[in-house]
Structure 1
Amino acid sequence: MSGNIRTTSGHGRLGSALSGLAVAVGCVLFLGGFVWGALLYQPYSVPSDSMTPTLDVGSKILAQRVDGEEVRRGDVVVFTDPLWGDVPMVKRVAAVGGDTVACCDRDGHLTVNGEPVDEPYLRPGPGGRIIASGTEFSVSVPEGNLFLLGDDRHTSLDSRTHMQEAGQGTVPRSSVVARVDAVVWPVKGLLEPPKGFAGLPGGISEPGPVRPLLTAIGAGALLVLAGGAYGPVVGLFTKRRGAGTRAGEKEKART
């Protein structure tokens, strides 16, 4: 007795079962990835060129919803603050509460608590030289606040612009609504980790689950397509094989 048990439609029962399982698992991964992503992430459009070259104006970004208390130095965050216009803005965290942030040392670096910070993501200035700020400053960041800078230090309106206001240009951690993880359009992928801040107390943030989310969505789509294609592909193969068999039988009959 043959071990290849077939249904009345000619498809192997095992193949049909695996096809259905692939579609079911694919749907779970695909839809689950989207739901999970919608809960964790919020899409934004970059409103200005102050974060170039890291983020171009109009770029579509994915920002993970986080509590302001989770933010660390070097993070690129989305925040709203009444003194800054009360609209979503995107800047990089240069210092946190308790830090003394200053600029610049003899090499043009930003310093945090006296330690120079390497910032390779900054936009070069005239002559191609990278400096952390065209104007000098020194600020003691109040506890619970953040000092924020754009990556284009030559045009960005950031904490330096608000230094005459309460808090010397800093904003409360509670103003942060999300942390940017990736640029989806134009496609740049995950942001580079701000390694220059890694040696400071507290280190830097770990990237959010963008990569596993995209992997789940992509794998789900492939499984759905593969499972859905099983029936038509097997049917076409069976039809061709049957046509070939009938043609052979006719040829034998002629001879």
Structure 2
Amino acid sequence: MSGTVRTSGDRGRLGNALSGLAVAVGCVLFLGGFAWGAVEYKPYTVPTDSMTPTVKVGDRVLAQRIDGSKVRRGDVVIFQDPAWGDMPMVKRVVGVGGDKVACCDSQGRLTVNGKGIAEPYLQNNPLTKGRASATDFTAKVPEGQLFVLGDERTNSMDSRVHLQDAEHGSVPLSTVSARVDAIAWPLGGGVLDRPKAFSALPGGVSQLGPVKLVLGSVLLGLLLILGGAAYGPLTQRLGRKKAVAGVR
């Protein structure tokens, strides 16, 4: 009988080849994920607590670059409007062009076109007494505009403060630059869910961007790089140990 005996040198070369392949693929995924993320997303540090508890002051978020035409009710957006101080702000969209937004119904809920909206992202606050807003308001959102509120309704400087403006507190679609998809820091913040209550309204809710794929590509690439870098030396060491054991 004849056969092929695989030497420790053969195993070492195979280990090095697999190690190099894993590192190469890992680099492609890691760098590709970063490049994809840089095109789709921009980081933004939240400067105030007006979106607590969804997004806290100092949180670092990933915001997908979009234009206003892609915004849907329930989205947390970043916008910059000269009438609001001409600085980037982060708020939740609760009404779009043509909507009648009001507060509050008999259950203390925000209403959009007469439909009560459940807002599980609001935290209990004694100042609001379980209502979506401590003060009542009604606004008709002009076409091409958005009505925005903070999730911390007791101190958020949002559309309610600007109700007497010509646009009834709303901001133009053109002022929106990005939509928040995930909290990058602190770690474990996760992605932002789209509120289900808005899905029953015309236009529904927006779809989550590719943030999970981007992060998955970066993490998988990093694991392959680290694993590949360790695999080659490990197989060589095991091969040498087996060779020494065979001589004995």
Q: TM-score range by the shorter chain?
A: over 0.9
Match in the other structure for 1:150: 150
User: In structure 2, what is the Cα distance between the partners aligned to 1:19 and 1:220?
Assistant: 13
How far is the alpha carbon of 1:239 from its aligned partner?
2.0
Match in the other structure for 2:50: 50
User: In structure 2, what is the Cα distance between the partners aligned to 1:150 and 1:174?
Assistant: 20
Match in the other structure for 2:87: 87
Specify whether residues 4 and 95 from structure 1 end up closer, same or farther in structure 2 by C-alpha distance, changes over 3 A only: farther
User: In structure 2, what is the Cα distance between the partners aligned to 1:235 and 1:130?
Assistant: 65
How far is the alpha carbon of 1:219 from its aligned partner?
1.0
Which has the higher mean CA deviation after the structures are superposed, 10-19 or 178-187? 10-19
Structure 2: stretches of 5+ with no match in the other structure: none
Match in the other structure for 2:130: 130
Match in the other structure for 1:210: 211
TM-score (norm 2): 0.93
User: In structure 2, what is the Cα distance between the partners aligned to 1:143 and 1:52?
Assistant: 29
User: In structure 1, what is the Cα distance between the partners aligned to 2:185 and 2:227?
Assistant: 28
What SS is found at the alignment partner of 1:154?
coil
How far is the alpha carbon of 1:127 from its aligned partner?
7.5
How far is the alpha carbon of 1:128 from its aligned partner?
8.1
Larger radius of gyration: 1
Amino acid at match of 1:226: G
Structure 1: stretches of 5+ with no match in the other structure: 249-255
Match in the other structure for 1:100: 100
Specify whether residues 127 and 71 from structure 1 end up closer, same or farther in structure 2 by C-alpha distance, changes over 3 A only: closer
Match in the other structure for 2:78: 78
How far is the alpha carbon of 1:240 from its aligned partner?
1.7
What SS is found at the alignment partner of 1:228?
helix
User: In structure 2, what is the Cα distance between the partners aligned to 1:182 and 1:42?
Assistant: 11
User: In structure 2, what is the Cα distance between the partners aligned to 1:3 and 1:172?
Assistant: 74
Larger RCO (CA under 8 A, 6+ residues apart): 2
Q: Does 1:23 align with 2:41?
A: no
Specify whether residues 3 and 204 from structure 1 end up closer, same or farther in structure 2 by C-alpha distance, changes over 3 A only: farther
Match in the other structure for 2:65: 65
Amino acid at match of 2:246: T
Match in the other structure for 2:198: 197
Match in the other structure for 1:181: 181
Match in the other structure for 1:253: none
User: In structure 2, what is the Cα distance between the partners aligned to 1:158 and 1:95?
Assistant: 13
Counterpart contact for 1:77–1:92, Cα < 8 Å: yes
User: In structure 1, what is the Cα distance between the partners aligned to 2:127 and 2:79?
Assistant: 33
Specify whether residues 203 and 3 from structure 1 end up closer, same or farther in structure 2 by C-alpha distance, changes over 3 A only: farther
Counterpart contact for 1:4–1:12, Cα < 8 Å: no
What SS is found at the alignment partner of 1:166?
coil
Amino acid at match of 1:92: R
Q: Count the aligned residue pairs.
A: 246
Amino acid at match of 2:164: Q
Specify whether residues 128 and 68 from structure 1 end up closer, same or farther in structure 2 by C-alpha distance, changes over 3 A only: closer
Match in the other structure for 1:252: none
Output one character per residue of 1:116-165: Cα deviation in whole Å (capped at 9) or x when no partner: 11101112221784311111111110100000000011111100001111
Specify whether residues 17 and 45 from structure 1 end up closer, same or farther in structure 2 by C-alpha distance, changes over 3 A only: same
User: In structure 2, what is the Cα distance between the partners aligned to 1:226 and 1:110?
Assistant: 51
User: In structure 1, what is the Cα distance between the partners aligned to 2:157 and 2:143?
Assistant: 23
Percent identity between matched residues is: 57
Amino acid at match of 1:200: L
Q: Does 1:237 align with 2:228?
A: no
Amino acid at match of 2:169: G
Specify whether residues 158 and 11 from structure 1 end up closer, same or farther in structure 2 by C-alpha distance, changes over 3 A only: same
Counterpart contact for 1:146–1:173, Cα < 8 Å: yes
What SS is found at the alignment partner of 2:11?
coil
User: In structure 2, what is the Cα distance between the partners aligned to 1:61 and 1:151?
Assistant: 16
